[in-house]
Chains A and B, each alone.
Chain A
């Protein structure tokens, strides 16, 4: 029997509280990365399960959050890799309805949604944490396992890419 099978909830009463606090923001992060509500939930479940199974999961909320976001980002990247592989071996598939269409409609800016989807998974991760959650570069580096300097480089490239794709958007470089 593996260790994760034997971890009783009583040993970590804080875990459920963390799940309840972070479920929504982590789901939205996952949704931005996967662009599919069902997959976002699946990724989030996998991430929490991984954290539950790991005896080294930090109990302090800020560290737990960083760890969770890193796992969500990693799982979402795995999902994209599998999707890319599936596209290569698929000969024919009917066009599925876009699961994000309704959310995009309610958000009210479909062009911005399209621009964000054009970013690479890594760029989208950094852009989301920076622009959507207002996290500083140091915090993003902790969440994504990158050096702060790398975060700034990715942000720079992301802004350049958005400028190139939508010159009228006029997103400016950030000083950090």
Chain B
């Protein structure tokens, strides 16, 4: 559908400004929900007679019920022990059910399950990346620089959905050296990876790490059960070449080059995986000299890949990011040339795995493209470098910052490093020293320092 005729610009600008300025009252959603469950007060649409009648009936009913209770109680002796109220002791863990570990080496004492004793939170670190295996278990990596040029990688873990964090063991590597930057992913509360210039693997919730010995830098990694895919490349001085898909069938203990390779272009790539069988590889150029992008999909666990239409136009192929849901919803944010803290961004949305695309008209310009996360087919969250956390609840047609919901970001700071949603309700975002969490789909966010 072509909608971009020249004469519509004014109407489009009005639409954008209206969506930006026509703000509902604060906590509208909470008010709506509260009134739903507590029987809404009188409507100005003429419900007063019905309400008055209902109130009258209620009063009469209460009087009759009170009278009946008094009559029943007359002459009846009190029996039974007095009621004892017991107060539940809050547990630091949301889920204390032991989770079976696939690793023969892991023991219950090695798991990061919350214990009554407090654990050291570690020195404040500058957060780099964040991941969550479920609504309780999460990990964050970052850097702490006791001396110039000495910034060892730090790992923090949480077992209560990000409300509190404790120091965990990280691989002995420098956080800010090498290319690409370090990232962290966990498939379960036990099995995870830290990757970037090298690939490390844990099967005990991050207590111990082993080098996977892949011999390449890892640009992106995605797991589903025991099956793990990674895009490896040879990176030197910020430039990555020979991007190759590797696969592991044993949670990352052993790796092999995939026999079927997806079409990839440029020097950066992202694996987006929603199941054992279905995944996408988004790749882009990152440099102005050869602006291009590519998108490939597999529906048979990587046995074969199909190249889809080029997702991002050349002018927006400098920094791209994608996210998908199991129903085939696929969002991509294409980042283009940038200046003065702003970047041209094109959002594209597909609901059939990339065969057909919608091109919502406006994407926020402030900040540079960071991570993208989905909390529903029409609801996306975009972390921006040097900018705020954005959300769109209408398929990308309009975006708003999450400042009002509680994700306050220093406008002159480095922005939002990460955003993660594991379902429609539970999500997290992170700035340099704070982790924000929501358990109501992003309507409200709490935060804690890290």
Chain A residues in contact with chain B, CB under 8 A? 9, 14-17, 19-25, 27-28, 31-32, 37, 41-42, 44-46, 48-49, 52, 61-62, 65, 78-79, 82, 103, 106-109, 112-113, 116, 131-136, 169-172, 174-176
Chain B 33-92 interface residues, beta-carbon cutoff 8 Å to A? 33, 35-37, 40, 43-45
Q: A107 touches which one: B18, B33, B379 (CB < 8 A)? A: B18
- Inside 8 A of A136's CB, which chain B residues have their CB? 1
Kindly list 6 other residue pairs between chains A and B, CB separation below 8 angstroms, not including A109-B13, A112-B10.
A14-B424, A49-B35, A65-B378, A132-B19, A132-B397, A134-B3
With A17-B425, A136-B1 as known contacts, state yes or no: A171 contacts B8, CB within 8 Å.
Answer: yes
Which residue on B lies nearest to A132, using beta carbons?
Answer: B15
Contact of B17 with A by CB under 8 A: yes
For B397, give its contact among A19, A133, A175 (CB under 8 Å): A133
For A5, the closest partner residue in chain B by CB is B39
Q: Does B108 contact A (CB under 8 A)?
A: no
* B441, A62: Cβ atoms closer than 8 Å: no
Assuming A17-B440, A134-B397, is B32 touching A45 (CB within 8 A)?
yes
- Contacts A42-B44, A131-B15 given; indicate if A24 touches B21 (C-beta within 8 A): no
Question: Are B3 and A16 within 8 A (Cβ)?
Answer: no
Given contacts A82-B45, A131-B12, contact A49 B440 (CB under 8 A): no
Q: Given the known inter-chain contacts A108-B17, A112-B11, A175-B1, please indicate yes or no for A61 contacting B6, CB distance below 8 A.
A: no
Contact residue among B19, B33, B44 (Cβ-Cβ distance under 8 Å from A28)? B19
B14: chain A residues at CB < 8 Å are 107, 109, 112-113, 116
Q: Is the CB of B12 within 8 A of A32?
A: no
Residues in A neighbouring B28, C-beta threshold 8 A: 23-24, 27, 41, 44
Please tell me if the beta carbons of B1 and A171 are within 8 angstroms of each other in the complex: no
Residue pair B32, A107 in contact (C-beta under 8 Å): no
Is B98 part of the binding interface, using a Cβ–Cβ cutoff of 8 Å? no
Q: Which residues of B contact A (CB under 8 A)?
A: 1-3, 5-8, 10-15, 17-19, 21-25, 28-29, 31-33, 35-37, 40, 43-45, 358, 360-361, 375-379, 393-395, 397-398, 400, 424-425, 440-443
Nearest chain A CB to B185's CB is how many angstroms away? Answer: 26
In the complex, are the beta carbons of B32 and A31 less than 8 A apart? no
Give the residue of A24, A31, A46, A134 whose beta carbon is less than 8 angstroms from that of B361.
A134
Shortest Cβ distance from B122 into chain A, in angstroms? 34
Is B36 a contact of A21 with CB atoms below 8 Å?
no
Residues of B contacting A175 in the complex (Cβ-Cβ under 8 angstroms): 1-2
Q: Which residues of B contact A31 (CB under 8 A)?
A: 22
Query: Are A24 and B18 touching (Cβ within 8 A)?
Result: no
- Can you list 14 residue pairs at the A/B interface with Cβ under 8 Å? A16-B440, A42-B44, A61-B376, A106-B17, A106-B21, A107-B17, A107-B21, A134-B395, A134-B397, A169-B7, A170-B6, A172-B5, A172-B6, A175-B2
Taken together as a complex, chains A and B put the C-alpha atoms of A83 and B432 apart, in Å, by: 53
* Distance between Cα atoms of A174 and B398 in the complex (Å): 21
Contacts of A78 in B (CB 8 A): 45
Interface of A (DSSP majority class): helix
Q: Given contacts A41-B24, A171-B8, are A23 and B32 in contact (CB under 8 A)?
A: yes
A17 engages B424 (CB within 8 Å): yes
Choose from A28, A37, A62, A171 the contact partner of B18 (Cβ within 8 Å). A28
Q: Looking at the assembled complex, report how far the CB atom of B401 sits from the nearest CB atom of chain A, in whole angstroms.
A: 13
A174 touches B2 (CB 8 A): yes
A49–B361 Cα distance when bound, in Å, is 32
A65, chain B: closest CB distance, angstroms: 7
| Distance to closest chain B CB from A138 (angstroms) | 10
Is B37 a contact of A174 with CB atoms below 8 Å?
no
A19 to B376, CA, bound (A): 13
Q: How far is the CB of A146 from chain B (nearest CB, A)?
A: 17
In the assembled complex, how far is the CB of residue A116 from the closest CB belonging to chain B, in whole angstroms? 8
Instruction: Please indicate the chain A residues that have their CB under 8 angstroms from the CB of B376 in the complex.
Output: 21, 61
Residues of B near A42 (CB, < 8 A) are 43-45
Instruction: Report A-chain residues with C-beta under 8 Å of the C-beta of B19.
Output: 28, 132
User: Do A17 and B1 touch (CB < 8 A)?
Assistant: no
Bound-complex Cα distance A45 to B1 (A): 34
- Which residues of B sit under 8 angstroms from A32, Cβ to Cβ? 18, 22
Distance, CA A23 to CA B175, complexed state (A)? 42
Tell me the minimal C-beta distance from A161 to chain B in angstroms.
13
Minimum C-beta distance from B3 to chain A (A): 6
Contact B36 A27 (CB under 8 A): no
Q: How far is the CB of B398 from chain A (nearest CB, A)?
A: 7
A residues near B361, Cβ cutoff 8 Å: 134
Q: A61-B376, A61-B377, A103-B22 are in contact. Are A23 and B29 (CB under 8 A)?
A: yes
Known: A44-B32, A106-B17. A27 touches B393 (CB 8 A): no
A43 and B23 CA atoms in complex are apart in Å by 16
Q: Do A49 and B377 touch across chains, with their CB atoms under 8 A apart?
A: no
Residues of B within 8 A of A170 (CB): 6-7
Q: Assess whether A46 is in contact with B379, with CB atoms less than 8 Å apart.
A: no
B7:A171 contact, CB within 8 angstroms:
yes
Tell me whether B441 and A25 are in contact (CB under 8 A).
no
Also in contact, A27 and B24, with CB within 8 A (given A21-B441, A109-B13, A169-B11)? yes
Residues on A with beta carbons closer than 8 Å to the beta carbon of B8: 131, 171-172
CB distance from B242 to the nearest CB of A (A): 40
Q: How far is the CA of A65 from the CA of B21 in the complex (A)?
A: 22
Bound form: Cα–Cα A135–B395 in Å: 9
Across the interface, which residues of A come within 8 angstroms of B7, CB to CB? Answer: 169-172
A117 CB to nearest chain B CB (Å): 12
Residue of A21, A41, A172 most packed against chain B (CB within 10 A): A21
Q: Are A16 and B33 in contact (CB under 8 A)?
A: yes
B443: chain A residues within 8 A (beta carbon): 20
In angstroms, Cα B441 to Cα A22, docked, is 11
